[in-house]
Structure 1
Amino acid sequence: MTKVYEKEIVALILYASIFFIILAIVIILFFYFSRKKIIQKELEKKDLEIQHQRDQLRAVIITQEEERKRIAQDLHDDISSKLNVVSLNSHLLKTPNLTDNEIVEITGNIIGITAKALESTRRIAHDLLPPVLDKFGLDAGIEEMCLEFNSSKAVQVNYENRVVFNESDKDKHLHVFRIIQELMNNSLRHGKATIITILFEEINNQIICNYSDNGFGFDMKDRKHQSGLGMKNIETRIDFLNGTILFDSAVNKGVKVLMKF
């Protein structure tokens, strides 16, 4: 009986050992594949982040190139052509036997065209960095931009600011200005909006911008509205601000934007 009992104990220990070995293997395999799956998901997430950063960088580069092309075209078509006319009129002054009236006329042409060239130069410089924004801050810069849009008579812009912006954050403010500028251009150009409302306020030490228009709006499910160059440009600037931006829109329902930074 003792030997039989011992054999049963040995068998029980053996089976228990085998059971715990199998259980240990199962647990090890479970943690191995779970960890592998977690690592795979992390890698996929990292790949998405890298791709997102690449898309943002591409958007920045394309935006810069488009801006350079626009400036080059303005310089060539506007400034260069005017200076050519000034040059031709200047050479005319060397023509012998000019009458006083001819000299006055040529000189007047030179002065008038030079004034137009200077005005065009100021406009190009203003587009690159609005002087009001640089000298007086974000509030004044946006207010001036709203006045310019209002002066077109195509849209009514209602702007209200309840925030005192920190003057030391001028670099950040330029990004905010460009985002608002992009939103307003989209509202007017694509949305055909007639009313735009902009409100800045501070809640829980965070600056919030509520933006809305009464334009055509768009289908939020349509991916093409989220992958455009303008949207990529906005997302890139929001990242620079460490902020967030949320869009709410529907066809024929206008656009609402909530921006925090």
Structure 2
Amino acid sequence: MITKKSFLIKQKVISVLLLFSVFAFGGIIYTFRTSSIIDSRNIKLIEYSEKVEVEVFNGRIEMDNFLMQRDSLSFNGISKSFNEADSYLNRLESILSENKNAAPESNEQFELKLSETKASIAHLDQLIKSGNYLKKQSLDSTMLRSYLNFNRIFTEYEKALQNYINESNSRLKKEIFFLLVAIFFILLVSLTLIARLMDSLIKADRQILSNTMDVEQSERRRIAMDLHDGLGAILSSVGMYSKILEKEFLENRPAAEKLKHITNLSNQALQAVGEVINNLNPSILNRYNIVESLDRLCAKINSISEMKLEFDSSKYSGEMTKSTEVMLYRISGELMNNSLKHASADKASIHLSRQKGRIILSYQDNGIGFDMSKLAMHGNDKMGLSNIVERVESIGGHCELKTSPGEGFVMNIEFN
């Protein structure tokens, strides 16, 4: 059930990442496409506006040539220039009709000025095509006013065009800004969701490890009981019967010696089985709490070895779960064994305390120490350090290890 939950959490994390990626990618594509469309439209508007201005200017030149030279080709050139200008204005209107939603206020103003420019050109073209200027040597006041009016209207048109382009770009920038804000907000939401999902995943993994430890502890207890009730009872019976036979064969010394040897072997086997049973399920924890159990373990080490071991629990109070007690007891025993067998230490200490709701176990010896970098590099784990770290992390704890050649060994274990 927990494994399925862990799988579902991982699926949710992947889904959140995919959704954010799709939204961010879609936002980037939208921004790039919109920016390209607006840039292309603005370029066309400027290009056609410049062509209108050029054609009107060419029409004015052709008009001056006609008045000076009375050339009919120049007259045709005037009409052609204004027709071209009108054609470009029609294209400008077509572009505007395709982008009605772009910068509505400036769009209306630009359309108005575009219509006025178109009307002004049409008026000039009508005056020229009326034919009155074929007989005149210069522009009359009506034509001059019309041309000056066109220059004024076209200047206003250019300002409206610039304002239209600026507002279009401003609107695009606002859209990009809001899009970035939305992406940032979705990113924060996604990170929050991912953090919560990862926290749930970590809790699920810890629960799996905790359940594994509980199952392991139950199995150890069952195996220890089976050994005690099965093999232990058989070895006890062997020892008892060999002692009975010893008494019956007192006169037969060779047989009595062999029976005595069998009795000693059965006692040794029974003692070995007892040690295995104690390692599988420390019976001392069934009778005493963790403080008394560690105190007795230290006393035992002091009595059978030359290493001086000190135990301090003056700053510890409260209780912990049985599985945690078993874990701490085994870790302490393993660290003591490392100090004796590998570190050649003659002095060590254990401090058990509770600070701000957290349990702290500190172990220190004055042994030969070792190089942590070389240990990690070569994967040498004969001291079972990774196993200890995994046990602590399985209950949400943290390990801090300090050692170097000739500087002893220190391990601090902290957990809720």
Q: Same fold (TM over 0.5)?
A: yes
Match of 1:247 in 2: 401
Match of 2:347 in 1: 195
Q: Number of residues paired by the alignment?
A: 225
Match of 1:257 in 2: 411
Q: Distance in 2 between matches of 1:132 and 1:3?
A: 102
Counterparts in 2 of 1:164 and 1:29: CA distance versus 1, 3 Å: closer
Q: What is the Cα deviation at residue 130 of structure 1?
A: 2.2
Name the stretch that deviates more: 146-155 or 122-131. Answer: 146-155
Name the aligned partner's letter for residue 255 of structure 1: F
Match of 1:150 in 2: 302
Counterparts in 2 of 1:99 and 1:176: CA distance versus 1, 3 Å: closer
Partner of 1:158, secondary structure, is strand
Name the aligned partner's letter for residue 235 of structure 1: V
Counterparts in 2 of 1:109 and 1:183: CA distance versus 1, 3 Å: closer
Q: Distance in 2 between matches of 1:223 and 1:119?
A: 35
Match of 2:41 in 1: none
Partner of 1:201, secondary structure, is strand
Q: Flag the structure with higher strand content.
A: 1
Name the stretch that deviates more: 213-222 or 116-125. Answer: 213-222
Q: What is the Cα deviation at residue 165 of structure 1?
A: 4.6
For the pair 1:12 / 2:166, whether they are aligned, the reply is: no
Q: Distance in 2 between matches of 1:239 and 1:150?
A: 30
Partner of 1:247, secondary structure, is strand
8 Å Cα contact 1:139/1:165 also seen in 2: no
Counterparts in 2 of 1:250 and 1:111: CA distance versus 1, 3 Å: closer
Match of 1:127 in 2: 279
Q: What is the Cα deviation at residue 2 of structure 1?
A: 5.1
Q: What is the Cα deviation at residue 244 of structure 1?
A: 1.6
Q: What is the Cα deviation at residue 253 of structure 1?
A: 1.5
Q: Deviations over 1:63-113 (max 9, x none)?
A: x9xxx9xx9xxx9xxx8xx97xx69x98xx8xxxx8942564454444333
Q: Deviations over 1:101-131 (max 9, x none)?
A: 2564454444333323222221221222222
Match of 1:164 in 2: 317
Ranked by relative contact order (alpha carbons within 8 Å, sequence separation 6 or more), the top structure is 1
Match of 1:179 in 2: 331
Q: Distance in 2 between matches of 1:198 and 1:250?
A: 19
Q: Distance in 2 between matches of 1:243 and 1:99?
A: 61
Name the stretch that deviates more: 13-22 or 119-128. Answer: 13-22
Name the aligned partner's letter for residue 293 of structure 2: G
8 Å Cα contact 1:192/1:216 also seen in 2: yes
Name the aligned partner's letter for residue 192 of structure 1: S
Partner of 1:251, secondary structure, is coil
> Which consecutive unaligned segments of at least 5 residues does structure 1 have?
none
Q: Distance in 2 between matches of 1:186 and 1:23?
A: 67
8 Å Cα contact 2:317/2:353 also seen in 1: no
> Which consecutive unaligned segments of at least 5 residues does structure 2 have?
1-151
TM-score of the pair, normalised by structure 1? 0.65
Q: What is the Cα deviation at residue 31 of structure 1?
A: 7.9
For the pair 1:237 / 2:391, whether they are aligned, the reply is: yes
Q: Distance in 2 between matches of 1:22 and 1:217?
A: 63
8 Å Cα contact 2:282/2:326 also seen in 1: no
Match of 1:21 in 2: 172
Q: What is the Cα deviation at residue 183 of structure 1?
A: 2.2
Q: Distance in 1 between matches of 2:392 and 2:291?
A: 18
Over the matched positions of the two proteins, sequence identity in percent amounts to 24
Partner of 1:124, secondary structure, is helix
Instruction: Select the structure of larger CA radius of gyration.
Output: 2
TM-score of the pair, normalised by structure 2? 0.44
Q: What is the Cα deviation at residue 159 of structure 1?
A: 0.9
Q: Distance in 2 between matches of 1:106 and 1:250?
A: 52
Q: Distance in 1 between matches of 2:258 and 2:351?
A: 52
Counterparts in 2 of 1:26 and 1:217: CA distance versus 1, 3 Å: farther
